[in-house]
Structure 1
Amino acid sequence: MTEAPDPTGALADATAADPAAGLRAVRSLRALADRLETLQVLRARELGWSWQDIADALGVSRQAVHQKHHRRTA
């Protein structure tokens, strides 16, 4: 698994006048959000949450969250 970009300074770069810096910040923040989502979904499943409970918390469909994460929880 490749390591996610370091989000340090990402918020500062997000408002930079240079679009390249701003877009790098967006990529870093997305990678961080994806990692946090995965960790929290795994934890929720360990605690017995249903796919519907997780979907409701994330504001997505049960099918979407299950399709994205079910292999990691098997």
Structure 2
Amino acid sequence: MGDVDLSPITGEADPLAALRAAAGLRQRLEREEAVLVRRARNGGASWADIAGALGVTKQAVHKKYGGRRLLGRKED
């Protein structure tokens, strides 16, 4: 997977406009990540597998996405 070109944001002359763009990008990435975590869990991935893919601890990913909040799945 290739790197995302952030030069349109970081090259923005107005730092406040760049911050707004960065915030919008962060929100979109959070939504996309949540969808992918849900897909991974529905596909049988463990919290440890997902944590490894995200580069965080199992506890961190479980706290953010875990428990009954994720499509009613039971914790494991």
TM-score (normalised: structure 2) = 0.77
Q: Relative contact order, CA 8 A, sep 6+: which one is greater?
A: 1
Aligned to 1:41: 37
What is the letter of the counterpart of residue 72 of structure 1? L
Aligned length, in residue pairs: 65
Q: For structure 2, list consecutive stretches of 5 or more residues without a partner in the other structure.
A: 1-5
- Which structure shows the bigger proportion of residues in helix conformation? 1
RMSD: 1.6
Moved over 4 A (4+): none
TM-score (normalised: structure 1) = 0.79
8 A contact 1:54–1:65 mirrored in 2: yes
- Once the two structures are TM-superposed, the CA of residue 12 in structure 1 deviates from its matched residue by 2.9
Q: For structure 1, list consecutive stretches of 5 or more residues without a partner in the other structure.
A: 1-9
